Structure 1
Amino acid sequence: MPALFISDLHLDAERPAITDLFGRFLADEARGADALYILGDLFEAWVGDDDPSDVGAFVADRLATLTRAGTPVFFLRGNRDFLVGDRFARRARMHILPDPAVVLLEGTPTLLMHGDLLCTDDVKYQAFRAQTRDPHWQAQFLAQPLAARLAFAQQARAASKAHQGGLQQQGLMEAITDVAPATVDATLARFGIGKLIHGHTHRPAVHDEPNGTRIVLGDWYEQGSVLRVDRDGAQLSSLAA
């Protein structure tokens, strides 16, 4: 059975059809898979493991059911859900991986990333990322009341949309928010690995890079996107909502 890779589901109460699609995927294809890897942005926003949302409870229950059925689940934090912690991981019975992480797929070392670390031309975002990944910042943020954290998440989403809108007006959206080729090359060379799988950019494709192969996962805004890896190779396809 193949190993399955997904990312950028951005699950949110405002898009119940995609949450339902994810639930069906877990109950159907994911059962019996060698493993399920979720490479970040499972949620549209995550402000701490005390988040009482129905979507979070649904995901934890369905992932735990999947692992009890025999499919291990591995999660790599994204730019929207970087605060997913051990408490939620235990509820969902999933393993949190570092970003980047190296795994063996059919005997081949493969580098896994969310993908935002590769978008180094987006200087403003990289500065925000560095701030919010700081353990001191996270401790202070998580100490705030839930209502304050939820308000911050809404403000951050609005700021992100404004930032992207400004890039679109300048005609820079495609270039700035995609990966930087030099950073991809340097990352593959640094790890000495010729295969990279990531999400984040919402541009599903298979790229032949100077130092190897880069597979980009698609998002789940209008449909699902799944990468299947087995002894016959890798297949990237979509799932109808």
Structure 2
Amino acid sequence: MTTLLISDLHLDTDTPEIADGFFAYLDGHARNAEALYILGDFFEAWIGDDILDHPAMAPLATQVVEALRRVSDAGTHLYLMHGNRDFLLGERFATDAGLTLLPDPTVIELAGERVLLMHGDSLCTRDTAYMAFREQARNPQWQAQVLAMPIEQRLELAKNLRMQSGEAISNKAEDIMDVTADEVVRVMAEHDVRTLIHGHTHRPAVHSLEVNGRPATRMVLGDWQPKRGWEIRAESGQMPKLRDFPLRG
């Protein structure tokens, strides 16, 4: 059986090629897989499940929900982890799409090995400004306050947050936005794993390291582009492999 892991699609009405490529991916690769894990930043922004009722937002969101439900109904187990762009994805979306929301981090078993799954943003501890925002954004009280706002006000907030994020990124050193090596080792040791899979950094690669005196591996998923997607594929009895592939709409 095949297990697939993807991340950082940033689905948005401004990038229909990626959405179309994802729908084709679901109808092809994912339909024959035992499980599909989406490790955060599935949407460019998600301001609450009630956007499924909003005239401007609903078309893409509903199309995604319906596409996921078809795959789930066909027998593929679907799992979704929140990212830093879509941390307000809730139970209504999960139920309608036929998927399970996962905590970050989560340990699963692949090819008989314990594997740690994360979005990856919590590993970027040198970016202190972002880490402060992350703590706020994961606070249930803050989330409740945001979800109580009218949708139009939330849309404006999401727009402003994206602008602030873009400005902040342009002023930060590249290494600050990458994971902190010591934090990677600490988290892997805490969960007693030798393989970590995450996204977030948009720096697809396979890294070798050492955890508790044993060889270990960190696999980083890439972000999807209009003509290219990234996945980690784990076939039955084989260790996972990172690959990119052309998107087709």
TM-score by length of 2: 0.93
- 1:160-185 Cα offsets, whole Å, 9 max, x none, are 00001112xxxx1x201100001001
Partner of residue 12, structure 1: 12
Query: Is 1:73–2:78 an aligned residue pair?
Result: yes
Contact (CA 8 Å) 1:199, 1:218: kept in 2 or not?
yes
Moved more, 229-238 or 81-90: 229-238
Alpha-carbon distance in 2 for matches of 1:48, 1:117: 22
5+ residue gaps, structure 2, are none
Alpha-carbon distance in 2 for matches of 1:239, 1:12: 20
Query: Is 1:119–2:124 an aligned residue pair?
Result: yes
Alpha-carbon distance in 2 for matches of 1:235, 1:213: 11
Contact (CA 8 Å) 1:10, 1:221: kept in 2 or not?
no
Contact (CA 8 Å) 2:111, 2:239: kept in 1 or not?
no
Alpha-carbon distance in 2 for matches of 1:151, 1:95: 29
Q: Please give the residue correspondences for 1:1-241 in structure 2 after superposition, counting only pairs within 5 Å.
A: 1-51=1-51, 52=54, 53=57, 54-167=59-172, 172=173, 174-211=174-211, 212-222=216-226, 223-230=228-235, 231-241=237-247
Deviation at 1:232, TM superposition (A): 2.4
- 1:124-157 Cα offsets, whole Å, 9 max, x none, are 0000000111010011110010000000000000
Alpha-carbon distance in 2 for matches of 1:110, 1:90: 26
Aligned residues: 236
Alpha-carbon distance in 1 for matches of 2:32, 2:18: 22
Name the SS of the counterpart of 1:214 in structure 2: strand
Task: Specify the code of the residue in structure 2 equivalent to 1:76.
Answer: M
Deviation at 1:10, TM superposition (A): 0.2
Moved more, 80-89 or 54-63: 54-63
Moved over 2 A (4+): none
5+ residue gaps, structure 1, are none
Alpha-carbon distance in 2 for matches of 1:120, 1:7: 20
Alpha-carbon distance in 2 for matches of 1:216, 1:121: 18
Moved more, 219-228 or 158-167: 219-228
Task: Specify the code of the residue in structure 2 equivalent to 1:229.
Answer: A
Task: Specify the code of the residue in structure 2 equivalent to 1:226.
Answer: E
- 1:25-80 Cα offsets, whole Å, 9 max, x none, are 00001112110000000000000001132221111001000000010100000000
TM-score by length of 1: 0.96
Name the SS of the counterpart of 2:50 in structure 1: coil
Alpha-carbon distance in 2 for matches of 1:85, 1:185: 31
Name the SS of the counterpart of 1:4 in structure 2: strand
Moved more, 47-56 or 25-34: 47-56
- 1:95-150 Cα offsets, whole Å, 9 max, x none, are 00000001111221111000000000000000000011101001111001000000
Alpha-carbon distance in 2 for matches of 1:166, 1:206: 27
